Amino acid sequence: MRRLMGLCVFILLTAGSAQAQQKKLKVLISADMEGIGGVSTWEVQADSKGREYEKFRRLMTQEVNAAVGGAAAAGATDVLVVDSHGDAQNIDIELLDKRARLIRAWPRPLSMVQGIDSTFDAVIFVGYHAREGAAEAVLAHTDNGRVVVKLNGVEVPEAGFEGAIVGDFGVPVVFLSGEQTICQEVRELIGPIETVAVKRAIGFYSAEMLPPEDSQRLIREGVRRGIERRAEIRPYRISRPVKLEIRFNDVVIAELVSYLPSVERKSGNTHRVHRARHDGGIEVPHGRPLPEDSGRKMRMKK
C-alpha cells in the first residue's frame, strides 16, 4: 500500500511539474475593416449603414477566424481579438472562433490594441490600411481621417502607432493583412514581418480583389508563419525621448486641442507632445509633466 501511495504521489508531482513547464502562448489579434478583402468604399461595405455592411462584417469575422486558426496551428493557447473599426462592434460574436475572446466598443485606454501587456508573445493586425495621404491605397487614412501622425518625425499609419504601443510592452507585431501599400509601409517601418495583400489597390476606392477563400487561406498560413518566426522579429520600439506630432486637417479642432496644457502648438494645425524624462514622465514645452501612463494611453478615438 505504501508503494502504491508513493507511486500516486510521484505521478501527481510529475504531472504538476509538466503542466507548469507548458507556458501559455498568448496572441492578440487587432482587426480593422478597410483592409478586409473585398472592401472598397465606406458607403457600401465599411459603414454600418452601407448596403453590403452585414455581408462584410461576416467576411471580416471570417478573416479574423482565419487568423485565430493560424495562431492555433502555431501553438497559441490564448487568443484575444480586439474589434477596432468604426464603433468597434463589427465582428459577429456568434460566428467568431470559439477559441478566441473578444474586446469591442469604445472608449478604451489602449485603443486598437486594448488588452496588450508583457505576457503576450505576438500581435497580429488583420484588415489594416495605409496612412493618410498614401497613393494606391484603398480608404487610406489615419485615425478619424482628419489627421496626420508623426512619431519622432516619421509619419506613421495606424499600424505604426499601435505597433509602437505593443513594442513598448516588448511584444512584436508578426503579421499584417491589408492591401499592398500598407504591407509595404509596415515592412519599411517595423521590419520583415509576415504580410498578406488580400487586394491590390488601384486608387482610393478601386482595387483588384481575391476570392474570400483565398484571402482567408493566405491569412491562416501567414499568421502561422509569423508566430513561428516570433523569436526573430524584434518589437517595434520608439527611441526616447518620444515626440508625437499631429497635424489636423480642421484648424478649429487644432485650436481646441491647443488649449490642453500638455500640448505645444507648432503651427495653426500642428501640435507636438514630447515624452519622456529620465524618470519616465512626459516633458512638455509649457505645461506640467504628465503621469507615466498618459503618453502610452493618449490616443484619439478612431
> If you write DSSP's letter for every residue of 184-225 in order, what string do you get?
HHHHHHT-S-EEEEEEEESSSS-EEE--HHHHHHHHHHHHHH
Q: Please give the chain's pLDDT, 302 residues, in tens.
A: 455 445 444 444 444 444 444 689 999 999 999 999 999 999 999 999 999 999 999 999 999 999 999 999 999 999 999 999 999 999 999 999 999 999 999 999 999 999 999 999 999 999 999 999 999 999 999 988 778 989 999 999 999 999 999 999 999 999 999 999 999 999 999 999 999 999 999 999 999 999 999 999 999 999 999 999 999 999 999 998 889 999 988 888 888 878 887 788 887 778 787 654 444 443 434 333 333 443 333 333 34
Amino acid (1-letter code) at residue 280:
G
Amino acid (1-letter code) at residue 186:
V
> DSSP label at 178?
E
pTM above 0.95, yes or no: no
Grid cell of 176 as nine digits: 499584417
What is residue 267's three-state secondary structure? strand
Residues 33, 34, 35, 38, CA torsion sign = positive
**Domains in the chain with CATH codes:** 23-142+159-232 (3.40.50.10780), 242-297 (no CATH)
The reported pLDDT for the residue numbered 106 is 97
The reported pLDDT for the residue numbered 11 is 47
pLDDT in tens, 177-205: 999 999 999 999 999 999 999 999 999 99
**Partners of 200 in the beta sheet?**
208
The reported pLDDT for the residue numbered 137 is 97
Residue 155 CA to residue 245 CA, distance in Å, equals 9
Residue 81 CA to residue 114 CA, distance in Å, equals 9
Residue 28 CA to residue 104 CA, distance in Å, equals 13
The reported pLDDT for the residue numbered 274 is 65
Grid cell of 209 as nine digits: 480583389
Residue 89 CA to residue 41 CA, distance in Å, equals 18
| CA 167-171-175 angle, 5° bins | 95
Return left, alpha or beta for 196; rule: phi > 0 is left, psi -120 to 50 is alpha, else beta. Answer: beta
Residue 154 CA to residue 173 CA, distance in Å, equals 18
The reported pLDDT for the residue numbered 298 is 35
Dihedral (Cα; 91, 95, 100, 101), 10-degree rounding:
50
pLDDT in tens, 247-263: 988 888 888 878 887 78
Q: Which of 63, 32, 90, 34 is nearest to 204 (CA)?
A: 34
Grid cell of 31 as nine digits: 482587426
CA atoms within 13 A on the CB side of 135: 0
- Edge-to-edge strands, sheet with 147-151: 154-155, 147-151, 242-248, 270-275, 264-267
What residues are labeled active site? 141
What is residue 176's three-state secondary structure? strand
Q: Which of 204, 301, 288, 289 is nearest to 253 (CA)?
A: 301
Residues 188, 189, 193, 199, CA torsion sign = negative
The reported pLDDT for the residue numbered 142 is 95
